[in-house]
Structure 1
């Protein structure tokens, strides 16, 4: 069962996420923003645990709404699942990565 629920997290240069994301679960919202190298994980409690296990080393986060730990974890996972790299976006649009980044 656990193997079916595993997912990959897109990490870019500097061990951060490729773009800003919002995760939501119930009344809890989590905002995740890429950070420059050397910043570290600026997150509290449940969010920090998930991000460190995902291998992310430089990121900012903010939790809005419900402060229930399990809801925060699920909202964080929802955000990480929705991450897309430049390659994925280019493939969806049928363009090259250079066109996307320009």
Structure 2
């Protein structure tokens, strides 16, 4: 009897997961009788509460490629700490191949200022306020991977406090004290 509730809980978690198709690519293999066509899909999935992942799937039919990519993305989900559940804790940058991205936290009401593949990642993550810029390659695969590299760098004040054996309030107050001491030194 204990197995049934577990299965229902798993179904509930999976029903909360949102997936977005980022790119679909038709590929052809030239053979003796002509061309064999296949499809490659790039999908990002997330729970809109700080967890997201991406996956790549290839198949002869589009729906099958999307299904494979979604399954891989669900296996590769990572947690990203969000400030107030709407933005990043600090600025960050990521790089994958020739794709470079810069992410900046933003005040409430800014919205999602990001293009293409990065926007899809932020939407499934549940980020509502962020400013992002893509530099270098516009290849969706590299942009998504670079975005995830930048998101992996995100650290919350709670994680910093745990590493330093401090209280969260001490970490936050030190940050404010450091900024005010810099301002007084300049003035």
Provide the TM-score with structure 1 as the length reference.
0.91
| 3-state secondary structure, aligned to 2:147 | helix
Structure with greater strand percent: 2
- Which structure has more RCO (C-alpha within 8 Å, separation ≥ 6)? 1
Aligned residue-pair number:
102
Partner of 2:146: 75
Q: Note the aligned Cα RMSD (angstroms).
A: 1.4
Contact 2:106–2:131 (CA<8 Å) still a contact in 1? yes
Greater C-alpha Rg: 2
Partner of 2:121: 50
Q: Which runs of 5+ in 2 are unaligned?
A: 1-71, 174-187
Partner of 2:134: 63
Alpha-carbon distance change, 60 to 99 in structure 1, aligned in 2, over 3 angstroms: same
User: In terms of mean alpha carbon deviation, does 47-56 or 63-72 score higher?
Assistant: 63-72
| Cα separation, 2, equivalents of 1:3 and 1:13 | 24
| Cα separation, 2, equivalents of 1:36 and 1:87 | 20
Deviation at 1:53, TM superposition (A): 0.7
Contact 2:85–2:126 (CA<8 Å) still a contact in 1? no
Deviation at 1:94, TM superposition (A): 1.7
| 3-state secondary structure, aligned to 1:92 | helix
Deviation at 1:38, TM superposition (A): 0.9
Where in structure 2 are the equivalents of 1:1-102 lying within 5 Å? 2-13=73-84, 15-102=86-173
| Cα separation, 2, equivalents of 1:20 and 1:66 | 21
| 3-state secondary structure, aligned to 1:24 | strand
